[in-house]
Amino acid sequence: MGSKARVRRTARVPWIPIAIISVIVIMALFAPLLAPYSPIDQTLRDKLLPPAWMTGGSDKYFLGTDAFGRDILSRLIYGARVSLMVAVLALTVGGGVGLAVGIVAGYVGGAVDSVLMRLVDAAFTFPAILFALLLSVTMGQGLGTLVIAITLLLWASFARVIRGEVLSLRQRDFVALARVRGCSAPRIMLTHILPNVLNTFMVLVTLNIGVVIIAEATLSFLGAGIPPPTPTWGLMISEGRGRIADAWWVALIPGIAITLMVLSVNLFGDWLRDRLDPRLRQL
């Protein structure tokens, strides 16, 4: 008879991913306090030292040094900052645009919906990585370019999922009832639709942190990310990739950091989705 409050089995809280994410966030927030050295100061004499626990490693540099004798630990810590900053900015801008477009398209419908959805289709067709490359050569490399590029990569998928969600919300009686009570369309979108898609939005955000971090790294690899010497994890891998044979730690450590981070946010995101919105089907 009718739908009934579903009794939900909550998945186990993913403590390990949460711990990893917390460590990285703390690293990013307190980088100047935590990092033993400046991330860009070079000591060419100390270049390519292996991590402290290996033969030849120095106690001064726990995770070793890179080709310029920069402390990898410090770069990793500051790199977390940049990577997270890119993620936060891109997700705020891209996710925000996607959220707004999704809500408007889904709620208003009709021609507005068609036009917006064609734009979304266009965004999916447009090779975003390529666009990022293009932007980086037209506007120069930098945080702004990177954020714009990644925003372009993100907004459409946000818009699509949110719109789907709004379409089903719009069928719910409380939306019709809000109209009956005299709420205007913007008011309904803000007070009735928005709070109800926030869960979905949060899940999308978590699951896309990984996408952003990978995109940043890939663009750095292709030479279109944040310019050196500012450390980002992607750039660190990119700089060290030629040395896997002799100085593996230069690329492997940031590689592991990215993998751990993305793995953690994804596991966390999955859990969040199961908790908040188990029916949310997403990429």
Ligand X SMILES: Nc1ncnc2c1ncn2[C@@H]1O[C@H](COP(=O)(O)OP(=O)(O)OP(=O)(O)O)[C@@H](O)[C@H]1O
Residues 156-185 that bind another protein (CB under 8 A): 172-174, 176-184
CB-based contact 152:131 (threshold 8 Å): yes
Region of 1-9, 95-103, 145-153, 161-169 interacting with ligand X (CB under 6 A): 1-9
Cβ proximity to ligand X, 170 vs 243, nearer residue: 170
Our finding on whether 9 is near another protein (CB under 8 A) is yes
Our finding on whether 7 is near ligand X (CB under 6 A) is yes
CB-based contact 86:143 (threshold 8 Å): yes
CB-based contact 207:265 (threshold 8 Å): yes
Q: Which does 118 bind (CB under 5 to 8 A by kind): another protein, ligand X, none?
A: another protein
Which residues are CB-contacts of 81 (< 8 A; sequence separation ≥ 6)?
27, 28, 29, 31
Region of 73-81, 89-97, 102-110, 253-261 interacting with another protein (CB under 8 A): 253-261
To another protein, the closest distance from the beta carbon of 77 in angstroms equals 19
Region of 26-34, 71-79, 89-97, 227-235 interacting with another protein (CB under 8 A): 227-235
To another protein, the closest distance from the beta carbon of 64 in angstroms equals 14
Q: Which does 258 bind (CB under 5 to 8 A by kind): another protein, ligand X, none?
A: another protein
Tell me which residue has tokens 């106690």.
59
Rounded-to-integer distance, Cα 273 and Cα 220, Å: 30
Our finding on whether 12 is near another protein (CB under 8 A) is yes
> Nearest Cα to 67, choosing from 224, 259, 258, 246?
246
Cβ proximity to ligand X, 7 vs 283, nearer residue: 7
- Please, which of residues 58-87 interact with another protein by CB under 8 A? 67-69
Rounded-to-integer distance, Cα 104 and Cα 186, Å: 9
User: How many chain residues interact with another protein (CB under 8 A)?
Assistant: 95
- Please, which of residues 264-283 interact with another protein by CB under 8 A? 266-267, 270, 278-279, 281-283
How many residues make up the chain in this entry?
283
Q: Which does 135 bind (CB under 5 to 8 A by kind): another protein, ligand X, none?
A: another protein
Q: Which of 34, 62, 263, 275 binds another protein (CB under 8 A)?
A: 263
Our finding on whether 173 is near ligand X (CB under 6 A) is no
| CA-only gyration radius of the chain, Å | 22
Residues that bind ligand X (CB under 6 A): 1, 4, 7
